[in-house]
Amino acid sequence: MANRKVIYEACFEDYLRSAGVPYVAVDEAKKALFAGVQLKSFDFVVYSGTGPNLLADVKGRQFPARGAKGGRRWENWTERQDLDSLARWEEVFGSGFAALLVFCYHLADAEASAGFETVHAFRGETFGLVGVYRKAYADACRLRSRSWDTVSVPTAAFREMMRPVTAFF
């Protein structure tokens, strides 16, 4: 297992290993140039037996989102640059690959796990794992913050498009 400092990436890698899903961890220290443009790295190449192989970019979030009043807000923002880089990586890898945003939610309590089909215990904490293809996300996202250049998908649409990560393997 790679030495992952980000707990969400380490959790996803531990999940892949425990589930026996073949993958390659991407060395984030090595930045790639494609067509003279520096691209942000993704986290894992995951080999799928049910569909395209995956270029997985892990996003760590809390569930429910901090400050969610009375509801279960699915925080799902990302930087626009992440989507643009993933689209370019799809071009580089070709038609047998698709970019996947993996949202690894740190679950606040046992009750929160009821909303997840794929739940993984890691380092004494519990995480819910869902994924959404980059293209579907990009088609549905809206500007969240102009100054941070972030986007997100409205909760109702996100709930419809996300799938348990097991659906992609």
Residue 65: how many other CB atoms lie within 10 Å = 17
Query: Is residue 31 predicted with pLDDT exceeding 60?
Result: no
pLDDT for 64 equals 81
pLDDT for 37 equals 64
Mean pLDDT for the stretch of residues 64-83: 79
DSSP single-letter state for residue 65: P
Where do the structural domains in the chain lie, given as residue ranges? Answer: 7-168
Architecture of domain 7-168: 3-Layer(aba) Sandwich (3.40)
DSSP single-letter state for residue 17: H
* Predicted confidence band of residue 8 (pLDDT cuts 50, 70, 90): very high
User: Mean pLDDT score of the chain, rounded to an integer?
Assistant: 90
Output the furthest CA–CA distance in the chain (Å, rounded).
48
Query: Do residues 1 and 113 lie in contact, with contact meaning Cβ atoms separated by under 8 Å?
Result: no
Helix (H/G/I), strand (E/B), else coil: 154 = coil
Mean pLDDT for the stretch of residues 19-24: 97
pLDDT for 17 equals 97
Mean pLDDT for the stretch of residues 101-130: 94
Q: For residue 145, give the amino acid letter.
A: S
Q: 103: Cβ–Cβ under 8 A, 6 or more apart, which residues?
A: 59, 61, 74, 76, 129, 130, 131, 132, 162
Mean pLDDT for the stretch of residues 103-123: 92
